[in-house]
Amino acid sequence: MIRIKNIAVIGAGVMGHGIALTAAQFGKYEVIVCDTDQQFVDRGMGLISDWLQKSVAKGQIAEREMKETLERIHGTTNLQDAISKADFIIEAVTENKESKKALLREVGKIASDHAIVVTNTSSIRITELAAALTYPENFCGMHFFNPAQLMELVEVTKGKQTSDSTVKAVLEVAHKMGKETVVLKKDCPGFIVNRILMSALNEAVDLYYSGVAEKEDIDKAIKLGLKWPIGPLMLIDQIGVDTVVAIDKILGKEIGPKFYPHPQLKEMSDTGDLGRKSGKGFYDWTNRKMVS
């Protein structure tokens, strides 16, 4: 098994920048973050810097650790530069099957034959995505949770052709990043967490739009009754309404209609009320206050 030194994270968005930060800060890896446009790279790097600065201000880390972490992370828009020398490549682009396949085909043309490639997909079958790669035995699912720098869990899923040595390497990287891991015995859409979570989120949306209770009370009930750290409607806002809809569509198609997104949730996605990243979803995020 190769020694992992250099990690490339493809996608500098909500998940990508958090994964890059985790790899550099806790894993002590050299990290390159790549995205299609410089503004996306700059935004991702800015979010990493902001997080570290806040951590210093709170006394959680020393300024030296912040500086050393930032020195390990570099940004680029050049896919060739990002992955040609990478030992470990993490795909973290939008949850769209065709977009991921197109990217993985490009990765397969550039990556070395020993490089391990993982996908942060939260719903798509690993075997299906692996078909886009030259070396599917080096490919695996590595699903982080948002925010990646805080959430402890990583779901690891083998594809049909994934080698045992690849799984071993992925687990080693995850543990070096300080994560707890679960390994799925079977490649299935949605894996463990989202198979359960998406049903619960859809039910919360239905309760709200059916007029059963106000959003604040739905979230309060689940936080206090089930000990969730965050209520389901606020969680949708945090994840992104569009992302939840995308996952639901995949699960609905792959498993059954009970997983299809609630019509009102789809309408929110279509009108751009995406949650925190757009400023408004179930709650108003423009000034961190709830919508009245």
User: How many whole angstroms separate alpha carbon 168 and alpha carbon 61?
Assistant: 30
The residues annotated with a catalytic role in the active site are 122, 143, 155, 194
- DSSP label at residue 186: S
Q: What is the DSSP string of 80-110?
A: HHHHTT-SEEEE---S-HHHHHHHHHHHHHH
* Alpha helices (H) in 84-192, listed in sequence order: 97-110, 126-130, 164-176
Return the number of other C-beta atoms located less than 10 Å from residue 60's C-beta: 10
Q: What is the dihedral of CA 165, 104, 177, 198, to 10 degrees?
A: -110
Q: Looking up tokens 């969680």, which residue turns up?
A: 235
Do strands 88-91 and 153-158 pair parallel, antiparallel, or not at all (unpaired)? Answer: unpaired
User: How many whole angstroms separate alpha carbon 49 and alpha carbon 25?
Assistant: 12
* Contact between residue 76 and residue 32 where contact means Cβ atoms under 8 Å apart: yes
User: How many whole angstroms separate alpha carbon 239 and alpha carbon 208?
Assistant: 18
User: Nearest CA to 97 among 256, 265, 270, 250?
Assistant: 250
* Contact between residue 7 and residue 177 where contact means Cβ atoms under 8 Å apart: no
Name, in order, each residue with C-beta under 8 angstroms of 176's C-beta and a sequence gap of 6 or more.
26, 27, 28, 29
